[in-house]
Amino acid sequence: MSELEGRFQSYSRVLLGILRIVSAFMFIQHGSAKLFHVPHVPMFDGIQLVSLLGLAGTLEVVGGSMLLIGLFTRPIALILSGEMAFAYFIAHAPRAFLPMLNGGEMAVEWCFVFLYIAAAGPGAFSVDGRRGAGSS
């Protein structure tokens, strides 16, 4: 292993934790826009809690918050990855084949980031790590 590889290896757990936290923070914003209109996104006005978008918003706020603190990280990340795959195929793919053309780039990106976190674990700075569960 080269010196550079060793240096990056020593930071991988911390960087995984940062990836989890930043991704969850960004994800929560989508849910809060749907459910609480903060930040306000006009296309989310009038969303009913008992609807697909209402369910998505609930998963994004609750699941994103749990992911942010690193609680039950692996199963939550797997559920959120599935939500994003579902969102892509239901809302984006019918518009066009390529994510660049159908507005689905973030759904695909989050799907695979959350799938990676489900496989790799929470990384640093997590409740799971403090309680000895799901460590990476």
* Rounded-to-integer distance, Cα 132 and Cα 16, Å: 17
Tell me how many domains the chain contains: 1
Contacts of 101 (CB under 8 A, 6+ apart): 95
- Give a yes or no: residue 26 inside a domain: yes
Range of lowest pLDDT (13-17, 95-99, 129-133): 129-133
- Give a yes or no: residue 38 inside a domain: yes
Q: Give the pLDDT band of residue 135 (cuts 50, 70, 90).
A: low
Q: What is the pLDDT of residue 134?
A: 60
In terms of residue numbers, what domain contains 18?
Answer: 3-124
- Give a yes or no: residue 134 inside a domain: no
pTM of the model: 0.91
